[in-house]
């Protein structure tokens, strides 16, 4: 099952807003007199940091990685943000997890997986789920981008670090979106919508896409459901006596942890505890990625953006030079379904059709869309690929030549 299109849209908006906020935070708007300047960094503008420099925001002091690890070791929960498609942010996450796990028992909470995925996450942790099955699980919970997290997942498995799905289930989200009671014997999490800064921060993002305040209320309520559910899952971890000696490292979009009023504050409301927030921070977008910027209303927040800002570059997986010319969707039981074939595309020329199920590419079994993108990324114009696909109960072999599009 693929992520709900509305869910995907909101997630993209939040990720893009977080990137925008890191770059263009302004002191205009909400509580300007008391706003913390410089991206929520009162003593030093993050734009003045060198790449890989770490700043302790409340004091304005630069620290080493080991000093930061020593400091956050007093925390029960460590939140590490991300711009979802940034390779460098995920490197930061892995480094922190590796160093913490050398001294402490660590579990990893993941926005990318739903609570309903927990049984299979446990199987992966025990080495009882294949990589193909795990990729399918990731795609059904999150979508594309498995390769960005793969090193984290494999390290967790090698060190027996539990992975914990934080997000609400599709079923709960659908009932909540429709205004219906929670399904079965489940309950919606307690929702606090009284934080004026969280509301202003969130609505500034949605405002760039949806328009009126009334129209923005539904996506804002859905955001609250996500964050309250993730906070509730964190609280359940903390209450469980099995985890009394474990630290929880939470990996989530920077929007959900920045300023603390997303997941951290909501988890603390349920179970008071020490926590730290680390934000991999981008202050410049390369010219070739400028199309990822967006314009949103600027809002000032009178809070530190995080405990630590770690300056990183913005680097995304390579954009494919060649194009197949299709829209793809992950199938629940494996394989990749063609949902659309573009006119005059390489796929159409080769005879591919909407509805075809791609089974393999160049002899490699396809477990998800990322597998196709990975192979495409190694292709040049005039290269070939051979696909095995299923159409109307028949298995066909199709050869594709990657021609350069005509201008």
68-99 tens-digit pLDDT: 999 999 999 999 999 999 999 999 999 999 99
DSSP 137: H
The pLDDT confidence band at residue 25, using thresholds 50, 70 and 90, is very low
**For position 262, what pLDDT does the model report?**
96
Q: Is the pLDDT of residue 13 over 70?
A: no
SS3 327: strand
**For position 91, what pLDDT does the model report?**
96
Q: Is the pLDDT of residue 291 over 90?
A: no
**For position 322, what pLDDT does the model report?**
85
360-391 tens-digit pLDDT: 999 998 888 888 888 888 888 999 999 999 99
Q: Quick one: tokens of 59?
A: 């004091």
CATH 3.40.50.1010 fits 5-311, yes or no: no
- Residue intervals in the chain for CATH 2.30.42.10: 326-401
Asked whether the beta carbons of 106 and 112 are under 8 A apart, the reply is no
β partners of residue 251 = 80, 110
Cβ neighbours of residue 293 closer than 8 Å, sequence gap 6 or more: 16, 19, 20, 23, 285
- Residue intervals in the chain for CATH 3.40.50.11550: 5-311
Asked whether the beta carbons of 310 and 52 are under 8 A apart, the reply is yes
The pLDDT confidence band at residue 22, using thresholds 50, 70 and 90, is low
Higher-scoring residue by pLDDT: 188, 367: 188
Q: Is the pLDDT of residue 189 over 80?
A: yes
Which CATH number applies to 326-401: 1.10.3300.10, 2.30.42.10, 3.40.50.720, 3.90.1150.10? 2.30.42.10
Q: Give the DSSP H or E segment for 65.
A: helix 65-72
Burial of 138 (0-12, 13-18, 19+ CB in 10 A): buried
Q: Is the pLDDT of residue 280 over 60?
A: yes
β partners of residue 337 = 329, 357
Share of the chain above pLDDT 70, in %: 86
Q: What rounded mean pLDDT belongs to the chain?
A: 87
What Å distances lie between residue 12 and 8, 33, 83, 205, 306, CA to CA?
A: 6, 31, 10, 11, 22
Report the C-alpha gap between 404 and 407 in whole angstroms: 9
């Amino acid at each position: 099952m693929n992520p709900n299109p509305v869910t995907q849209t909101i997630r993209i908006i939040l990720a893009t807003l977080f990137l925008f906020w890191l770059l263009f935070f302004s002191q205009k708007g909400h509580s300007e007199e008391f706003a913390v300047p410089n991206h929520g960094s009162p003593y030093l503008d993050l734009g003045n940091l060198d790449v890989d420099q770490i700043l302790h925001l409340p004091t304005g002091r630069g620290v080493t990685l080991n000093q930061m690890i020593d400091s956050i070791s007093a925390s029960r929960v460590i939140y590490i943000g991300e711009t979802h498609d940034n390779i460098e942010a995920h490197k930061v996450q892995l480094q922190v997890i590796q160093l913490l796990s050398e001294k402490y028992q660590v579990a990893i909470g993941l926005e990318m997986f739903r609570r309903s995925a927990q049984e299979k996450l446990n199987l992966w942790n025990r080495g009882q789920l294949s990589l193909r099955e795990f990729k399918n699980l990731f795609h059904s919970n999150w979508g594309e981008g498995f390769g960005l997290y793969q090193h984290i997942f494999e390290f967790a498995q090698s060190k027996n670090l539990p992975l914990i799905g934080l997000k609400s289930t599709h079923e709960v989200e659908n009932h909540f979106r429709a205004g219906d009671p929670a399904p079965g014997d489940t309950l919606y999490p307690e929702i606090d919508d009284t934080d004026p800064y969280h509301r202003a921060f969130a609505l500034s993002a949605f405002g760039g896409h949806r328009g009126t305040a009334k129209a923005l209320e539904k996506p804002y309520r859905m955001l609250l459901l996500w964050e309250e559910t993730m906070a509730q899952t964190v609280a359940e971890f903390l209450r469980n006596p099995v985890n009394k000696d474990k630290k929880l490292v939470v990996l989530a979009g920077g929007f959900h942890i920045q300023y603390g009023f997303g997941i951290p504050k909501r988890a603390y409301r349920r179970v008071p505890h020490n926590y730290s927030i680390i934000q991999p921070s981008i202050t410049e977008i390369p010219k070739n990625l400028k199309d990822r910027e967006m314009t949103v209303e600027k809002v000032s927040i009178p809070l530190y953006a995080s405990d630590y800002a770690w300056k990183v570059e913005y680097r995304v997986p390579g954009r494919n030079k060649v194009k197949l010319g299709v829209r793809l969707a992950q199938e629940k039981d494996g394989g990749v379904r063609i949902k659309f074939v573009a006119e005059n595309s390489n796929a159409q020329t080769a005879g591919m059709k909407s509805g075809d199920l791609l089974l393999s590419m160049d002899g490699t079994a396809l477990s998800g869309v990322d597998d196709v993108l990975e192979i495409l990324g190694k292709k040049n114009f005039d290269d070939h690929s051979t696909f095995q696909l299923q159409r109307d109960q028949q298995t066909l072999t199709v050869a594709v030549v990657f021609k350069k599009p005509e201008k």
